[in-house]
Every structure is written in structure tokens, then in C-alpha cells.
Structure 1
Amino acid sequence: MDFLGIAALIAAIAFAVLVIFLGKVLNNLSDVLSKTGDTIGKLPDQLDEISKETGTILHNTNETILDLNEKIKTLNPIFGMVEDAGTASRKVSSSLVDLTESMRKQTNAAAKMTDNKDLRGLYGLAAFVYFLNQKKKEYNEATQNT
């Protein structure tokens, strides 16, 4: 055989190997496209299921929101009562603060008057006599009961 025949034989063998390789690749591609077609065929059913589930979820969400609205309407008077109680306690504590402040001012004024008139000793003596008188009464009652 001459070189031209050998070259043609090598080219023919290379072409046959290429055709076999391309055949396998195209066969695999055909399988992939077939499976893709099956998947795409199932897609509308899956989308229908997803749409139904989404509708169910939205319906349940709406019912939950309605239930929450009813419960909040039920709780609104309680919140109003808590607010009223807070307002009342604030007013009471405010009046107690005012009363305490006025008593403090009166006590300070009395203390200043006592200091100014040097009556501190006299008031102390009166308090001591009152204390002794109370103790004497307690002692007398205790001795009479026994």
C-alpha cells in the first residue's frame, strides 16, 4: 500500500471513532432532554399544588388575623382600665407628694420659729415631761392588772 492509502485508512478509522463518540454524546443528550421534558411536564401539576397551598396559607392567615382582631377588641377595655388605674395612682401619688412637701415646709417653718425664739429647750422639756407621764401611766396600769 502506498502512503495515500494508509492516510485514507487512518482518516477513515479516526472518522469512525469520532462518529461513535458523537453517537454516545448525542444519545446521552437525548436522555437528558427526555428527562427534562418529563420534569417540565410535571411542572404544571406542581405549580397547581403550590398555588393551592398558597391559597390555603393565605386563607389561614386571614382567619388568624380576624381572630387576633377580635381578641384585641376584647382586650381594649382591659388596657383602658389599666390606663385609668395608672392615672388614678399617679394622681394619688402626686397628692401625697404635695402633702409631704407641705408638711415638710410647715415642719421647717416650725423649726425655724423654735430656733428664732429659743424655745427648743422648753419644747424638749415639755416632751420629756409628757414621756415621763406616759411611762408613769403604763407602770400604774401594769401594777393594777397584776
Structure 2
Amino acid sequence: MDWLGIGVTVIGVAFLVLVIVLIKPLNKLAGVLGGLQKTTDNLPTQVDDMMSQAKDALQTGNDTLSQINTQIKELSPIFHTIGDAGRATNQLSTSIADKVMNVKTDTAEGRSFITKHDLEGLYGLGTLIYYIVQKRKSEERI
């Protein structure tokens, strides 16, 4: 039994020395865990604040998109009108080009004079102006 008592005493002294050596690191660990507790205590309120800000930002984005959709719906007839005007202009320019090509083919004998004196652009412009004037006269009659 004496040996058992001596063994238990040696183990107890070893644990006492171990506790004395580990007091300082354990106190530092306790400080770190205390700071961690303070940080995590504030975490739910911070997350709630971030979520509310994100919700507000998404709501503002949705409102902005709704306003843009409304404005585009209001502008849609203008875009259709511009498209119609573009198609009408395209048809007008196509018919003008056809008329100019017809005039050029009809005046085959005058072609050498026109090309000799570089008057092709001038005759094309004259034909265009003549066609526009005739078109306006015909529209005024209607």
C-alpha cells in the first residue's frame, strides 16, 4: 500500500506542476473565448441589419424595374410609329431608286455625254427632285 500512496502522490504532484504550467495559456484561451462570446452575441443583430438592408435594396430594384416597364409601355407606340416611318422611308427610297434607274436606262443615247462630262450625280439629283415634286403634287390632289 505504501507504493500505491507514493505513486498517487507522484501523479498528483505531476498534475499540480502541469496545472501551474498551463495556468497562463488557459487564462489566455479564456480571454479569447470571452472575446468570441462578445462577437457572437452581436452577430444576430448584425445579420438582421444586413438582411433588412438587402431586402430594402431588392425592393428598390423591383420598384425601379416596375417604373421602367411602365415607361416602356408608354413609349411603345412611339417606337411603332418610328418603325412605320422607317418602313415608309425605305419604300420611298426604293421607288426613287427605281425611277432613277428607269431614267438612266431610258436615256441610253445620252449616256456617253453624261459620263463624258461627269454629270451622272447631277442628273440623279435632278431626277430625285423631280420625283419628289411630282409625289407632293399627287399627294396634294388626294
Sort the TM-score into its range (normalised by shorter chain): 0.5 to 0.7
Give the share of equivalent positions with the same residue, in percent.
Answer: 34
Moved over 6 A (4+): none
Larger radius of gyration: 1
What are the equivalent positions in structure 2 for 1:60-139 lying under 5 Å apart?
60-108=60-108, 110-111=109-110
TM-score between both structures, scaled by the size of structure 2: 0.62
Residue equivalent to 1:55: 55
In angstroms, what is the RMSD of aligned CA positions? 2.1
Residue equivalent to 1:143: none
SS of residue in 1 equivalent to 2:88: helix
Residue equivalent to 2:32: 32
Deviations 1:71-123 (CA, angstroms, capped at 9, x unpaired) = 11111111111111111111111011000000010011x448xxxxxxxxxxx
TM-score between both structures, scaled by the size of structure 1: 0.60
| Structure 1 residue 54, shift from structure 2 partner | 1.4
Deviations 1:35-81 (CA, angstroms, capped at 9, x unpaired) = 11111111111111111111111111111111010111111111111
Cα distance in 1, alignment partners of residues 99 and 93 from structure 2: 10
